Amino acid sequence: MIGRERYYPAHPLQLAGRALTEASKGRADLVKVGRRMLRDVADLSGATTADLTLVRRAEVVLQWIAAQADPAATPATRRAANEALERLDTELTAEDEAAEDEDGDEQ
């Protein structure tokens, strides 16, 4: 039946957005923070960024959210999630600066 099939998003960041509620264990504050972080990942990732890279970046965000939402998470788990998030931030910042340098060289 053409036209009756349901569309399911396949973009990694859309899928991660849907998984936020489960990862945050229903905490609305973490859902809000997670959405903002995923938007930042989308904004700072280039248009040609591979889906596999976006999946990895979204997974870092979801793991950080899950670590913050889990009251039984050990300090080592939270520290590892924080370090992974810091590495992601460094990676995105470097990618954004490289894109700005390219734009500046073209002018």
5 — pLDDT class (breaks 50, 70, 90): confident
Asked whether residue 78 is domain-assigned, the answer is yes
pLDDT digits (tens, 9 = 90+) for 38-89: 999 988 887 778 888 889 999 999 999 999 999 999 999 999 999 999 999 9
Number of domains in the chain: 1
Asked whether residue 7 is domain-assigned, the answer is no
pLDDT of residue 52: 85
How far is residue 2's CA from residue 93's CA, in Å, rounded to a whole number? 44
Asked whether residue 62 is domain-assigned, the answer is yes
How far is residue 93's CA from residue 101's CA, in Å, rounded to a whole number? 12
How far is residue 58's CA from residue 83's CA, in Å, rounded to a whole number? 15
Asked whether residue 6 is domain-assigned, the answer is no
Asked whether residue 3 is domain-assigned, the answer is no
Average pLDDT of the chain is: 86
pLDDT of residue 43: 87
Here the tokens at position 69 are 């939402």
Which structural domain, as residue segments, surrounds residue 54?
12-106
Task: Say if residue 4's pLDDT is above 60.
Answer: yes
Asked whether residue 54 is domain-assigned, the answer is yes
Asked whether residue 81 is domain-assigned, the answer is yes
Asked whether residue 52 is domain-assigned, the answer is yes
- Kindly report the pTM of this predicted structure: 0.80
